[in-house]
Chains A and B, each alone.
Chain A
Amino acid sequence: DGGITQSPKYLFRKEGQNVTLSCEQNLNHDAMYWYRQDPGQGLRLIYYSQIVNDFQKGDIAEGYSVSREKKESFPLTVTSAQKNPTAFYLCASTPQGARSGNTIYFGEGSWLTVV
């Protein structure tokens, strides 16, 4: 867990702004993920990436974008098209995303609030 770093911890967004959440891992993991968590709810998958320069939409990708230019980095941009972005965002990674039996490790999370 200590090898996944998210920043910032807290972020405030004005209406109409795009903001980017950073996620860096030094675990040499192939797969990376972004989850959204709303109060009293479970985690929902936004985007995932199995290898560098490839990523796929998860269950709630609308209003978000990602890139995977480096193995260790998977930034998430919350665009103005995301109408209700206030939530806790969790980045995660696994050693070999498409193969069996690998534990998902989470970063410490980023709180995003619309003001």
Chain B
Amino acid sequence: GENVEQHPSTLSVQEGDSAVIKCTYSDSASNYFPWYKQELGKRPQLIIDIRSNVGEKKDQRIAVTLNKTAKHFSLHITETQPEDSAVYFCAARVNTGFQKLVFGTGTRLLVSP
């Protein structure tokens, strides 16, 4: 069935470093890939998304890249700050005739001052 694998499960960086989180999806027909940030006990918040007709998208310190051939997509955070600490989820929309998102298992990012 549809599957999204996400790595690493935890990531610790120093403030100012870059962080990269990678996801792989199984459904080659997937065409929409959002990333969510979730703080403890809160709802996931969309931080960036990419559609299959582009290879990269940037929004200030956040960027997402997509490799459709390899079925990989990645989140890049530059100049990390302590407030970036949270759990990040990737997702892929699978082609079931409606907008179903399949989520990765999450990456806990810890940014140390």
For chain A, residues 92 to 107, give those with C-beta under 8 angstroms from any C-beta of chain B: 94, 97-107
* A: contact size bracket: 20 to 34
Which residues of B are at the interface with A, using a C-beta cutoff of 8 A? Answer: 4, 6, 9, 31-32, 34, 41-46, 49, 51, 89, 97-101, 103-106
**Residue numbers in A under 8 Å from B98 (CB-CB):** 31, 48, 50, 97-98
Asked if residues A100 and B31 are in contact (CB atoms below 8 Å), the reply is yes
Per DSSP, chain A at the interface is loop
Asked if residues B99 and A98 are in contact (CB atoms below 8 Å), the reply is yes
Which residues of A are at the interface with B, using a C-beta cutoff of 8 A? Answer: 1, 31, 40-45, 48, 50, 58, 88, 90, 94, 97-109, 111
Q: With the chains together, A88 CA to B106 CA distance in Å?
A: 15
Contact flag A101-B32 (CB < 8 Å), given A41-B105, A48-B98, A48-B100: yes
